[in-house]
């Protein structure tokens, strides 16, 4: 695969031979010993882990639908983003980092699963059509199992347009699409014949495409045409020569190890044979050797020579390390995430500083993955309501998605900062809970504030700040209006102020 990837058309190269390690032909009669370092796979995996190690928080806008639909729609989105959906999105993200883009297709089959799900399609299996940079239609194709002749190639094409899917089976060769056949002519497409009309089309009932395009990052630095510019840019764009050089340096290192194996050169007179015409051999475990007193012969101690080439460990290690660091930097990632900076304990601030380049790349990719996620979820809800009988789900509801922090703050440092702000009277209980749990919504925060106040009232009843057990009036703030508290966004902590006033009066 690596040799095929780096093989360049000489006409485009201007007739000159492009010097690429994997593009060089193998030496005739010599076993190929080229080694490959899968740093590209490591980068793609790191990209997916940075983006999808945790599930993003997708919430329904309360103003876009009624309260009952908000709750049921939010619950259904949580079912879409279960472990199976989370794993599928992570899979798509890893392919996107290497292929520059992938496609998410919403499929459904109530005999297999009660809800629709995503199917990840590689970029080379889709022929897209763009309109003002947006995906207007897409043709998904795949090869079917051959039937009779070995040189025949059967392909299934499905053209996606808003509200329709048109199917076609073609019989051709490796280079040509061939002739349009009937869907019943191939066993793998026979089931589609029952879904389509006379024109080979299936109505989806959804006024939009069932396919969403997921680019890695933009712009594309090579493809500037209107048909290729929206495809995105791979993390490996422009880094291929460095990755090729890394494989060459690693292969040279391993070659030094093979050539560095110690060998002995002995005179032919010391070889043992079984007779004239038989091969000679030398017994390495024999302790006593008798030399021959021949004219011009050296002594026995000088007749056996050792051959061992130098293994250039430091030179190769430094070269491979420098290439690896440059590859990671050019791809937009910090070396610390790949174990280059050691595993010593560090604070959250130090980790952020070390991973600054990777976190910047993560933020850039979220800009492109967030719209696709929301679009794919909206399409999923439409299909769920139309074909799977989902109840209480409002596909027209507006969605927002937020990714969790890549580096979680130190709990001790957070608690210390909140304590200092509380002592200075610069933060309310509402904001303290919100800072500690940024993933909670306002209702959950208000409920937690109420529980905190109840714990305080039980520990120190109002009117009895020293816990003497005297009677006191109830907490005037026992009842909290969630809507009013959420709108205010702060808690004035009147209980504490009242207690301080009573102490000063005493």
pLDDT in tens, 400-437: 999 887 655 667 777 788 888 888 888 888 888 888 87
Token representation of residue 323: 């290439």
pLDDT value, residue 60: 92
Is 303 in contact with 270 (CB distance < 8 Å)?
yes
pLDDT value, residue 285: 64
pLDDT value, residue 15: 39
pLDDT value, residue 290: 60
475: Cβ contacts below 8 Å, ≥ 6 apart? 453, 457, 462, 495
Least confident stretch, 87-101, 122-136, 292-306, 384-398? 292-306
pLDDT value, residue 210: 96
Task: Select the highest-mean-pLDDT range: 58-67, 100-109, 456-465.
Answer: 100-109
Q: Which residues of 134-158 are buried (b: 16+ CB within 10 A; e: fewer)?
A: ebebbbbbeebeeeeeeeebbbbbb
Mean pLDDT (whole number) for 168-188: 91
Per-residue confidence band for 292, with pLDDT thresholds at 50, 70 and 90 = low
Q: For residue 297, what are the β-bridge partners?
A: none
pLDDT value, residue 47: 92
Q: What is the pLDDT of residues 54-98, one digit of tens each?
A: 899 999 998 888 888 999 999 999 999 999 999 999 999 999 999
Residue with tokens 């070390």: 354
Q: pTM of the entire structure?
A: 0.72
pLDDT value, residue 391: 92
Does the structure show a pLDDT above 90 at 198?
Answer: no
Does the structure show a pLDDT above 70 at 302?
Answer: no
**Average pLDDT of the residues of the chain:** 80
Q: Which of 493, 18, 72, 475 is nearest to 241 (CA)?
A: 18
Token representation of residue 18: 């492009």
pLDDT value, residue 11: 38
- What are the E-state strand segments in 35-182? 57-60, 101-107, 117-122, 126-131, 134-143, 153-161, 164-172, 179-181
Does the structure show a pLDDT above 80 at 116?
Answer: yes
Does the structure show a pLDDT above 60 at 287?
Answer: no
CB atoms near residue 485 (< 10 Å): 20
Helices (H), 58-166: 67-80, 83-99
| Cα–Cα distance, 240 to 242 (Å, whole number) | 5
pLDDT value, residue 500: 43
Per-residue confidence band for 8, with pLDDT thresholds at 50, 70 and 90 = very low
Rounded to 10 deg, the angle between the 240-259 and 39-52 helix axes is 130
Does the structure show a pLDDT above 60 at 468?
Answer: no
Does the structure show a pLDDT above 60 at 343?
Answer: no
> Which secondary structure element, helix H or strand E, spans residue 436, and what is its range?
helix 429-436
pLDDT value, residue 483: 52
Per-residue confidence band for 271, with pLDDT thresholds at 50, 70 and 90 = confident
Residue with tokens 């058309």: 9
Does the structure show a pLDDT above 70 at 1?
Answer: no
Mean pLDDT (whole number) for 211-223: 89
């Amino acid at each position: 695969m690596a040799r095929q990837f780096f093989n360049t058309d000489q006409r485009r190269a201007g007739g000159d031979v492009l010097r690429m390690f994997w593009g060089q032909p193998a030496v005739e009669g010599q076993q190929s010993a080229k080694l490959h370092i899968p740093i590209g796979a490591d980068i793609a995996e790191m990209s997916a882990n940075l983006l999808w190690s945790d599930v993003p928080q997708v919430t329904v806008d309360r103003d876009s639908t009624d309260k009952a639909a908000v709750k049921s729609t939010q619950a259904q989105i949580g079912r879409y983003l279960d472990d199976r959906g989370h794993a599928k999105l992570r899979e798509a993200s890893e392919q996107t980092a290497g292929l520059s883009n992938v496609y998410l297709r919403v499929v459904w089959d109530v005999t297999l699963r009660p809800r629709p799900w995503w199917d990840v399609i590689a970029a080379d299996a889709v022929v897209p059509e763009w309109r003002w940079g947006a995906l207007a239609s897409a043709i998904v194709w795949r090869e079917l199992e051959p039937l009779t002749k070995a040189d025949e190639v059967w392909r299934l094409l499905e053209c996606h347009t808003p509200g329709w899917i048109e199917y076609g089976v073609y019989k051709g060769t490796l280079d040509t699409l061939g002739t349009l056949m009937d869907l019943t002519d191939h066993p793998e497409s026979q089931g589609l014949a029952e879904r389509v009309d006379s024109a080979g089309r299936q109505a989806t009932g959804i006024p939009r495409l069932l396919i969403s395009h997921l680019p890695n990052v933009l712009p594309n630095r090579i493809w500037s045409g209107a048909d290729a510019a929206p495809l995105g840019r791979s993390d490996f764009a422009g880094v291929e020569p460095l990755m090729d050089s890394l494989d060459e340096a690693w292969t040279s290192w391993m070659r030094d190890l093979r050539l560095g194996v110690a060998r002995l050169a002995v005179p032919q007179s010391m070889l043992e044979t079984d007779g004239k015409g038989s091969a000679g051999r030398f017994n390495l475990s024999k302790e006593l050797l008798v030399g021959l007193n021949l004219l011009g012969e050296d002594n026995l101690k000088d007749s056996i020579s050792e051959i061992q080439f130098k293994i250039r460990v430091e030179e190769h290690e430094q070269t491979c390390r420098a290439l690896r660091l440059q590859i990671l930097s050019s791809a937009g990632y910090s070396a610390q995430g790949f174990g280059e900076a050691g595993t010593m304990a560090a604070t959250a601030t130090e980790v952020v500083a070390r991973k600054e380049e990777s976190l910047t790349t993560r933020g850039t990719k979220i800009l492109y993955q967030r719209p696709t996620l929301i679009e794919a979820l909206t399409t999923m809800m439409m299909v769920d309501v139309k074909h799977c009988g989902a109840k209480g789900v409002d596909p027209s509801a507006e969605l927002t998605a937020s990714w969790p922090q890549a580096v979680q703050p130190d709990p001790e440092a957070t608690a210390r900062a909140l304590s200092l702000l509380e002592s200075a009277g610069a933060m309310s209980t509402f904001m303290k809970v919100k800072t500690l749990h940024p993933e909670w919504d306002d209702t959950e925060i208000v409920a937690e504030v109420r529980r905190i106040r109840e714990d305080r009232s039980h520990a120190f009843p109002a009117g009895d700040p020293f816990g003497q057990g005297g009677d006191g009036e109830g907490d005037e703030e026992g009842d909290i209006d969630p809507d009013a508290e959420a709108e205010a966004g702060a808690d004035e902590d009147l209980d504490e102020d009242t207690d301080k006033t009573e102490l000063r009066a005493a």
